[in-house]
Amino acid sequence: MVGNSLGKEFIVTTFGESHGKHVGVLIDGCPSGLSISEEDFQEELDQRIPTQTKIVSTRIEKDKAKILSGVFNGKTTGAPIAITVDNKEVNSIDYDQIKDVPRPSHSDYSARIRYGGFNDYRGGGRFSGRVTVAMILAGTIAKKLLCRCNIDVLAYTIAIGKIRSEKRFSVNEIRKNRNIAVTRCPDLVCNEKMEETIVAAKSAGDSVGGIIECVVLNMPKGIGDPLFDALDADLAKAIFGVSAVKGVEFGAGFASTEMLGSQNNDAFILKNKCVESVTNNAGGILGGISSGMPIIVRVAIKPTPSISMEQKTVNLSTMEETMLNVKGRHDPCIVPKAVPVIEAAVALTLVDHLIRAGYISKVIREGENIVGRSSDIT
């Protein structure tokens, strides 16, 4: 209600700050009977550790999830699940300079206004990318539930700065390549150019942004609550909950505005007696409801606002203009780290809608189909 929760039936609330003791998440509405262990979170958390330090911040975060509640005998109980990760290696001194001197294009200034100056400004506090760990924790559970429904969610980088991959890959290729690629781009040729772009920005004390694409395969038809709880509306809301996001588009997105209706329309056909469409410019969502075609969403990530180049800003205690050199470790490009976060945002929204639709049962049993009655009438 007041900002830190997502979802209506699978409700995820995050807590914690960059330089506090913990970041964590509380999940209310997870079906009972799902197998969960603290190890389940490790693979997802480890994705955030840079495979190659030349393009990312040298702050190494070895995170470990602790389950505080809601799991008994290795299974969810239906009660709220609280999970935390400790914050280690926190060096708050690096950030003391920003107390009164807001970093351009960070939330320092607007947060100070919003919270009357009582916000924890250290490292961006509540607005730090660090807090997205909480989304990854919740996303891990969401993806376990989607896996039981045979639904695949897959995010990957398609552009870094001006380098954009236009090549299409199979799910298996994406899955394999994005783990090899430092940039999480499955197009390994592009990946190398992207890496060069990031290294160049880093050398200049500058930063770059990029575009992340996320696809959802085997999405059941008929999911979404239009008009205002439309599936695309809720996906966009969850994704814009990540601070660095400046744009979201589905299917052909902004490109559809330059197409004719006859080019953009996705003709329906029969394939193995199922209704599909020849093209998928809609990105799998029609009128806010899933059509059964893959959901495709693309997300614009702005260049990291923390750069080591000198920038103009205002000292809010003296109310004088000043120059700022942001100290500390900065990622010259946060796109690779944002990939699992966008994937988590999508997974959380899907699970919430699937539970609301009655598609995922409230009680899950080993070896049983967890999928509720299909409302598919075709």
| Separation of alpha carbons 79 and 155, rounded Å | 30
Question: Closer to a copy of itself at the Cβ: 172 or 319?
Answer: 319
Least gap, CB of 284 to a copy of itself (angstroms): 10
Question: Closer to a copy of itself at the Cβ: 168 or 319?
Answer: 319
Question: Closer to a copy of itself at the Cβ: 91 or 171?
Answer: 91
| Separation of alpha carbons 202 and 109, rounded Å | 25
Q: Residue type for 61, please?
A: E
Whether 316 contacts 111, CB under 8 Å: no
Question: Closer to a copy of itself at the Cβ: 176 or 264?
Answer: 264
Strands (E), 148-194: 152-160, 163-164
Least gap, CB of 371 to a copy of itself (angstroms): 11
Least gap, CB of 123 to a copy of itself (angstroms): 12
| Separation of alpha carbons 251 and 298, rounded Å | 8
| Separation of alpha carbons 57 and 95, rounded Å | 15
Least gap, CB of 117 to a copy of itself (angstroms): 6
| Separation of alpha carbons 193 and 183, rounded Å | 10
What is the distance between the terminal CA atoms of the chain, rounded to a whole angstrom? Answer: 38
Question: Closer to a copy of itself at the Cβ: 167 or 287?
Answer: 287
Least gap, CB of 170 to a copy of itself (angstroms): 25
Question: Closer to a copy of itself at the Cβ: 46 or 66?
Answer: 66
Least gap, CB of 122 to a copy of itself (angstroms): 8
Which DSSP helix (H) or strand (E) runs through 344?
helix 335-356
| Separation of alpha carbons 355 and 375, rounded Å | 13
Whether 342 contacts 242, CB under 8 Å: yes
